[in-house]
Structure 1
Amino acid sequence: MAWRSTLYKEEDMKQLFSLRGRATRLQWWTIWLVIVLLGPLVDMIVAKDDVPAWIAVWGVACVAVMLWIGLAANVRRWHDINRSGWMSLVFLVPLLGPLIVLLYNGCIPGDASDNRYGAPAL
């Protein structure tokens, strides 16, 4: 069971789906890199004409999970720079919104000390 303490931590998996707490830039970049790489793969599998219905349902479920994890990562990252998670709505502004989210969440370091959203993410 030693692998469990190094490779897999249950609290990390719970944090993936949580809107509470804070996320580091590395955590944010890692989550979005996985989403950007897996998204097109799921799309290629589901977009085929002869795909069974259960695979299409699986694909929709995967996309829903990836969207939630991405949103949760954005909210926690905004918390890390002491901003409200509602700032994630900036993403919806055409053209500039995604760029603003990328610059803030991907480049600005988080608060080094505790803020209103908790202790710094590790």
Structure 2
Amino acid sequence: MNWYIDVIKNYAVFSGRATRMEYWMFTLFNVIFSVAAMLIDHFILNGLRLTDTLYTLAVLVPGLAVGARRLHDIGRTGWWQLIAFIPLLGAIVLLIFFCTDSQDKTNKYGPDPKELTI
């Protein structure tokens, strides 16, 4: 849960690097909260989709920011997220990028975040 909160605290920080763990833990909790919001909409608000829409809008910028920092961690620019607009191929490429191990040592986006936590 701390990973999720840390990403939310860095709401619009697109600089620096994010480890795989930070990105995937944020994604996991994001999916859990999104499903909970959908269930609330379905069972309590009779399918109004208000809670889900508000939650999605609230985490849009932090999600893009952590995605950009994750791409920085493998030495790529955050603009690579735009490849998601290419159907199927874009999602596959991003999945591979997000699963790739960090670059060792410092790269042009900053120091290795794994070394900072040790």
Q: Given the superposition, is the C-alpha separation of residues 83 and 60 from structure 1 closer, same or farther in structure 2, using an over 3 Å criterion?
A: same
Task: Give the greater-gyration-radius structure (CA).
Answer: 1
How far 1:12 moved relative to its partner? 6.1
RMSD in angstroms over aligned alpha carbons? 2.6
Query: 1:90 aligned to 83, 91, 99, which one?
Result: 83
* 1:22-47 Cα distance to aligned partner (Å, 9 max, x none): 00011111111111222122122124
Gaps of 5+ in 2: none
- 8 Å CA contact 2:15–2:109 kept in 1: the answer is yes
1:18 and 2:10 equivalent? Answer: no
For 1:51, the aligned partner's letter is: L
Gaps of 5+ in 1: 1-6
Equivalent residue, structure 1, for 2:67: 74
Cα distance in structure 2, aligned partners of 1:13 and 1:34: 12
TM-score w.r.t. structure 1 length?
A: 0.75
1:103 and 2:96 equivalent? Answer: yes
Q: Given the superposition, is the C-alpha separation of residues 113 and 16 from structure 1 closer, same or farther in structure 2, using an over 3 Å criterion?
A: farther
Q: Given the superposition, is the C-alpha separation of residues 31 and 65 from structure 1 closer, same or farther in structure 2, using an over 3 Å criterion?
A: same
* Paired-residue identity, %: 28
Matches within 5 A, 1:17-56: 17-48=12-43, 51=45, 56=50
Q: Given the superposition, is the C-alpha separation of residues 31 and 42 from structure 1 closer, same or farther in structure 2, using an over 3 Å criterion?
A: same
Query: 1:118 aligned to 92, 110, 117, which one?
Result: 110
TM-score w.r.t. structure 2 length?
A: 0.77
